Structure 1
Amino acid sequence: MAVVASVAFVATLGAVAPVAGAQPAGAQAVFFGDSFLANPAYRDVASLRGHFERSGLSSHSRLGSQPGAPSPQGCPQGDQTVAKAYGEIHRVSVANYACSAAKMAGPSARRSVGDQISGAIARGDLGPATGKVFIQAGANDLPDILAGQMGSSAGVFNSAVVNHVRRVREAAPGAEVVIVGYPAIAAENGAVCPVRVQGERAGFNLDFAGAVRAGEDTVGAALSQAAAQAGVRYVNLRAATLPGNMCAPDSVRNVAGVLEHSAGHNLYNHLTHRGVWQVARII
């Protein structure tokens, strides 16, 4: 009887004891954000973009716009993303939860940053093994950021970012959390070049009274301030990618035009294929 009891006790220990050499849970790098990190193909997103595909206004079929596997929560993502490139550069496992239209604060048309973090925690992608967490969102929060600057909703955006960072740290205490700004769209003088055709310097400038540049600066400042409040690093991606703005020559351009016939890309007004790898290297 004592022998049977001893065997049962040992069997129980074997059932609950961790396996020697087992790896802690979680992807090594986890990404949360909006369409700049999701980088979906034309066919995967809203009607206007679908119209561009059907009408042939953008030469996407020749320029490599291809859908990839969706996010773990079913959000469309492209075959080329910053997360995928980052994983290949650093040889680490990656989980990309980015979703088009995501907001930092409040509900989103698809999955907000808060929803993405909840999903990564529930699925075990965000955990003790996670060493890096990148969050890039805020462009879809621009109206709320502007309202906050006028005093009607001050602190809402910052509070959301601080809360996101807190939740990430609770789930992945060993991870460095990085808030990432957006790549430069407008040139230094505020000009943008929405029509790009074949040729190194083809296209034309439109200067919308610096409106695009002003929006970029507003979102960038809000992200920088929120990162400081949360106590995490902020990557000023606009400053780092300014030479590759929408008006730059194709050889250095990181952002596609609106009607893009010159540089490989997944979605207009988003990263070119070159830009995907450039951003992955910078962050």
Structure 2
Amino acid sequence: MSRAARHIGIAADDTLTLHNRDSAEPVRRAPARPRDPLKRWRISGLALPFGFLALIEVLVRLSILPEHLVPAPSSIARTLWELGGARLGRHIWASCARVFAGFGLGAALALLLGAATGLSRRLDALLDPAFQALRAIPSLAWVPILLLWMGIDEAPKITLIAIGAFFPVQLSVVAGIRDVDRKLIELGEVNRLTQRALFTRILLPASLPQIFTGLRTGLSLAWMFMVAAELIAATRGLGYLLSDGRETGRPDLVFGAILLLALLGKLSDSILKAIEVHTLSWRDTATDQLSSRSTR
């Protein structure tokens, strides 16, 4: 073999080696988005209420359910449409403003008092009997007292909603602080953390899951107490629509107000749940482990 042929053969071997080396290197691809294992279940969960409403529509149209007791969803939608967007919007806005104002006031006070009673055994022993007694009072029992003290303006309505939101949040804060692992507190004491640093860096993050549970429960109770407030002393709001529909014998209006309350309650809870997921994204819980198993 001539020298030129040998050079050509060596060059060919080098080219083949480089080609094989390049082909052996993994191709860089964009990271795939994590697949949601519960996507179908979430879609089914959203479709379930609509399927239930469709079933009610069919049963009413077939005269299986009496329309004067259970109106068809199409009749409810027509009633809400006839109210007009401006009028219906005023009722929705009035209820939402009362709920958010009362929930904000009650939750803020509950966070402060809950943290104080959770950190102090003496203060908890002093205030817990009164809190438990007040928590057992039904919502409607507060109405005549608040009307007597505050009149019929917005103050008694917001106060009643704040009372409803206060107790579940206060209980969750106390329980969250009391359930913190003692080893975490001992670790903070070993590192000579101040009382403020111990609260902000250990006690508060560890108790946040229970606090968010209490906040979501308090928000749902705020909607319930709002209806109790508007049923008696209101000229605007979804509770007023419920009362107006009952007095005028219009079940379509009553069910329409109930559906709007359910929708607004679900929407507000979803917003609070999204805040919870974002705030507690650092957790490594059993739910994450079960989700990872379902993707396998």
Question: Would the TM-score normalized by the shorter structure come out above 0.5?
Answer: no
TM-score w.r.t. length of structure 2: 0.22
* Higher strand content, 1 or 2: 1
**Bigger Cα Rg:** 2
